[in-house]
Each structure stands twice: as C-alpha cells, then as structure tokens.
C-alpha cells in the first residue's frame, strides 16, 4: 500500500500567522479538535483574529514548555506562505523546534529557514508531498465499501464528517478506516496521500491506492477534497470521486454561506445540484452510488435555531441531516447500515 507515513514529535503548537478568516485555519483548528491531547498552544502574530481555543504562546514560551513541533496551521489561497510569517518559523527552527507544514511551497525554499533548522538541529517536514510512482487509475471495481464526503464548497466540513463517521463506526465495533486525502487529515491520521498535490493524470490512481480491496463489510471513510462546482478546485474532487468509487456519499454544507469562499462571482450550488452531479460523475465507476446524508456546519448558527434547521434539510431531502460536531453522525451511520446491510 503506497500511502505515505507522516510522523511528528509531540507536544506541538499550531502557528496561525495573522489570518482573520477561519476558512484559512483548517489545519490548525482541525488538529486542535482531533489531536488536542498533544497540543500545548497556539502562536499568533499581530492582527490574527482566529482563535483555536488553546493558550497563546510565543516561540520562547513554547520552547520553555518543551514543545517539539510547530505546525503551520493556516494558509493563503493556493497553499503559499506569506513573507511576514517566515521570521517566526526561523526563530522556532533555530531553537530546535521541528517545523511541519502542508503547503504547496517546500519549507526548505523559504528564505533562511533551512539555515535556521541546521543551526538548531530541527527537521523541516513537508506533508503535502505525494509518494512516488503513483499509477494511472484503472476503474477496476474493488471489494469493500466506501463513503466519500463531498461539499457545496471547500472548508465546509468534509474532513470533520469523515472523521466523525469513522469514529462512530468504530464506537459500534464495526470495521472502518479513515482515509486522509489532505494535509490536515494526514497529520491527524498519521498517513494518507495529499490528493491536491498529485499530478492530474494520477489522481484517480492515487485514490484507488488510498482505498484498496478490503473485506466485504469493511468501510473506508474517504476525506473529500475541493468541491465539484468549485471553479478552482473541482479537478481534485472529480478525480477523487472516480478513483474512490464510493458506494455512499454525504454532502457537507455551510448553511450561512451564499457564494464560493473567496470566489464572490460564483454562487454556492444547492445541495440538490451537488447530489445530482456527484451521482452523474460517480456512476462512471460505481453505478450504485447514492447519497446517505447531509452534514451541516452550524457552528455560527444560534444554538436555539439548529434543531429546526437540521429538521428542515432532513425533510426537504428525505435524508438524515446532522451537525457532526454538535450532535454526532449516528443517524447517517444508521442509514448506511440500513441501505447496505444485506
């Protein structure tokens, strides 16, 4: 199995830079949510308004606490590194703290960082590097069951939903694995393939390797990437959908969003449109593909309004609708087992 293994030393801090939008802190927020026990705090620069809910530290304080890794927990559009962030990374590396990042740019290419790491004896760990020798997809039907999370947009809960589904399956004693396809998921799971860094010809092949043949009752919960209506990132979504050949999919959605994030000229597609197109494309390698649920991110919806909102979507589509963080994914797992258990 050609899935890269990613390991970093604990404890760690998340570096959030000076971002002001939660959508660009997926890595930091996700790590704190799913690997909180290894997190000592967050490092934020002046002007940062995103808060992961852990103690604020500077590099000197982090070193005194024995922090072993600084994880770049935020990114700009395109996976780059703002120039104003590099000095903090250099300070940490020079103090012997490993730097871990899932950016498209390689850490060693950042000005002064390789020299700082050499002085401090720190490692530079790039997560967004696909393994060598990935094949072209075959479309061959594989044993086992697969569920893919898809979205009306990026950063709307695909990773959280796949993790929550895997957690619920395992809680019930059912065979399941989380299959990570992005830098944050790989850091959480410790292994995976960063699909958005794979050359386009090999995306479907990488997705096939990621979720190989398995026992007939085993489920792979495949972390979705991009969005099938996204003008910038739909290509990874289509390749992952065809390569993972899911039996089931869950649509993830932010009910307060009206436009594609950072693409204001593009209206957000409806859930119905996403279901229709996902089925159309997914039938190429799995004619039986079907939607088994909707996952809403209601974190910014007033708590008193959440039950009615979930009930409205459930009634409209005749599918279980949940917020994976607020109330769990049990109804979706129930639907999966009902539809796919002989």
pLDDT digits 0-9 by tens, 182-232: 999 999 998 999 999 999 999 999 999 999 999 999 999 999 999 999 999
What would the 3-class secondary structure string for the chain be?
Answer: CCCEECCCCCCEEEEEECCCCHHHCHHHHHHHHHCHHHEEEEEECCCCCCCCCCCECCHHHHHHCCCCEEEECCCCCCCCCCHHHHHHHHHHHHCCCEEEECCCCCHHHCCCHHHHHHHHCCCEEECCCCCCCCCCCCCCCCCCEEEEEEECCCCCCHHHHHHHHHHHHHHCCCCEEEECCCHHHHHHHCEECCHHHCCHHHHHHHHHHHCCCCCCCCEEEECCCCCCCCCCCHHHHHHHHHHHCCCEEEEEECCCCCEECCEEEEECCCHHHHHHHHHHHHCCCCCCCEEEEEEECCCCCCHHHHHHHHHHHHHHHCCCEECCCCCCCHHHHHHHHHHHCC
For 145-340, CATH number out of 1.10.260.40, 3.50.50.60, 3.30.70.20, 3.40.50.300 equals: 3.40.50.300
**Fold held by 4-126:** Rossmann fold (3.40.50)
**Given a cut of 50, is residue 1 above it in pLDDT?**
no
pLDDT in tens, 4-56: 667 789 999 999 999 998 878 889 999 999 999 899 999 999 999 999 999 99
pLDDT in tens, 261-317: 999 999 999 999 999 999 999 999 999 999 999 999 999 999 999 999 999 999 999
- Each domain of the chain, given as residue ranges in start order, spans 4-126, 145-340
pTM for this predicted structure: 0.89
The answer to whether 4-126 and 145-340 have equal CATH topology is: yes
pLDDT in tens, 306-337: 999 999 999 999 999 999 999 999 999 999 99
- pLDDT-derived band at 104 (thresholds 50, 70, 90) equals confident
């Amino acid at each position: 199995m050609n899935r890269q293994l990613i390991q970093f030393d604990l404890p760690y801090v998340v570096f959030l830079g000076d971002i002001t939008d939660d959508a660009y802190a997926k890595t930091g927020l996700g790590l704190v949510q799913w690997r909180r026990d290894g997190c000592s705090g967050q490092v934020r620069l002046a002007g940062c308004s995103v808060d992961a809910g852990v103690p604020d530290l500077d590099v000197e304080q982090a070193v005194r606490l024995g922090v072993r890794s600084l994880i770049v927990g935020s990114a700009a559009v395109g996976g780059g590194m703002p120039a104003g962030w590099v000095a903090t990374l250099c300070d940490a590396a020079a103090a012997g703290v490993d730097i871990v990042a899932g950016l498209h740019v390689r850490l060693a290419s950042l000005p002064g960082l390789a020299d700082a790491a050499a002085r401090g004896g720190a490692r530079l760990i790039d997560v967004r590097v696909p393994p060598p020798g990935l094949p072209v997809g075959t479309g061959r039907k594989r044993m086992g069951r697969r569920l893919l999370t898809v979205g009306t947009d990026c950063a709307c809960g695909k990773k959280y939903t796949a993790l929550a589904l895997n957690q619920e399956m395992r809680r019930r004693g059912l065979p399941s694995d989380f299959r990570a396809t992005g830098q944050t998921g790989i850091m959480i799971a410790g292994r995976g393939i960063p699909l958005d860094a794979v050359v386009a010809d090999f995306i479907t092949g990488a997705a096939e390797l990621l979720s190989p043949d398995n026992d007939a009752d085993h489920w792979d919960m495949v972390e979705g990437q991009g969005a099938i209506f996204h003008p910038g990132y739909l290509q990874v979504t289509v390749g992952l959908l065809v390569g993972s050949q899911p039996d089931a999919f869950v649509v993830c959605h932010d009910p307060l969003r009206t436009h594609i994030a950072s693409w204001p000229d593009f209206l957000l597609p409806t859930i119905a449109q996403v279901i229709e197109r996902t089925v159309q494309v997914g039938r190429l390698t799995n004619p039986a593909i079907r939607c088994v649920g909707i996952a809403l991110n209601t974190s910014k919806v007033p708590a008193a309004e959440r039950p009615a909102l979930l009930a409205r979507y459930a009634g409209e589509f005749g599918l279980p609708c949940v917020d994976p963080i607020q109330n769990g994914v049990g109804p979706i797992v129930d639907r999966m087992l009902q539809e796919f258990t002989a």
